[in-house]
Chains A and B, each alone.
Chain A
Amino acid sequence: MIIEQLVPAKSPTMTEGTIVSWRVKPGDKVKSGDVIAEIQSDKAVVEWEVLDGGTVAEILIPAGTMAQVNQVAAIFTTKGDEDVKAAVAKAKETNAKLAPGGAAPAPAPAAVAAVAATPVPAPVAAPAAAPAASAPAALAKGVRVSPVAAKIASSLGVDLRAVKGTGPDGRIVRRDVEAAAKAGTAKLGAPGGAAAKPEKPKLKVLRADGANSDVAMTPMRQIIGKRLLEAKTTIPHFYVSESVDAGALVALREQVNLLDGFKVTVNDLIVRASALALRAHPKLNATFQNNSIRYYDSADISVAVAIPDGLITPIVTKAHTKNLKQIGDEVRALAKKAVDGKLQPAEFQGGSFTISNLGMFGIAEFVAIINPPQVAILAVAGIKDEPVVKNGAVVPGKVMRLTLSADHRAVDGADAAAFMKTLRELLEAPATLLV
Chain B
Amino acid sequence: MSALMAHPLKASRKLDTKQGDPLNGHKGVLLSDGNQLLSMRMALCQALYEEMKRDPTIFVMGEEVAQYNGAYKVTKGLLDEFGAERVIDTPITESGFAGLAVGAAMTGLRPVIEFMSWNFSFPAFDQIISNASKMCYMTGGMFPIPLVMRGPNGAGPRVSSQHSHAVEALYSHFPGLIVVSPSTPYDAKGLMKTALRQNNPVCFLENEMLYNYEQDIPTSEYLIPFGKGDIKREGTDCTIVAISRSVHWALEAADELAKEGISCEVVDPRTIKPLDIELIANSVRKTNRCVVVEECYKTGGIGAEIATQLMELVFDDLDAPVGRVTTTENPMPYAANLEHETLPKPHRIVAAVKKACYR
Residues of A within 8 A of B (CB): 146-151, 166-168, 173-175
Contact = CB atoms under 8 A, between A and B. Distances in A.
B196 to A, nearest CB: 42
B317 A151 contact: yes
Given A146-B288, A168-B358, 13 more contacts: A147-B318, A147-B319, A148-B316, A148-B317, A148-B319, A149-B319, A150-B316, A151-B317, A167-B320, A167-B358, A173-B319, A173-B320, A173-B358
A151 to B, nearest CB: 5
21 contacts: A146-B288, A146-B320, A147-B315, A147-B316, A147-B317, A147-B318, A147-B319, A148-B316, A148-B317, A150-B316, A151-B317, A166-B358, A167-B320, A167-B358, A168-B358, A173-B319, A173-B320, A173-B358, A174-B288, A174-B319, A175-B358
A177 to B, nearest CB: 9
Nearest to B284: A148
Contacts of B316: 147-148, 150-151
**Interface magnitude class on chain B:** under 10
Interface of B: 288, 315-320, 358
Contacts, number: 28
Contact of B318 (A148, A166, A167, A175): A148
A148 B288 contact: yes
A166 B317 CA distance: 18
B282 to A, nearest CB: 14
B262 to A, nearest CB: 12
Contacts of A149: 319
Contacts of B358: 166-168, 173, 175
B279 to A, nearest CB: 19
Nearest to B315: A147
A133 to B, nearest CB: 30
Contacts of B318: 146-148
Contacts of B288: 146, 148, 174
Q: Which 8 A-B pairs have the closest CB atoms?
A: A174-B319, A146-B319, A148-B319, A148-B288, A147-B316, A151-B316, A147-B318, A148-B317
Nearest to A150: B316
Nearest to B318: A147
A167 B355 CA distance: 10
A174 B288 CA distance: 9
Contacts of A167: 320, 358
Interface centre among A148, A149, A151, A173 (most CB of B within 10 A): A148
Nearest to A168: B358
A111 B181 CA distance: 66
A362 B163 CA distance: 97
A151 B358 CA distance: 18
A153 to B, nearest CB: 12
B353 to A, nearest CB: 14
Contacts of B317: 147-148, 151
A165 to B, nearest CB: 10
A160 B71 CA distance: 61
A126 to B, nearest CB: 38
Contacts of A173: 319-320, 358
Contacts of B320: 146, 167, 173
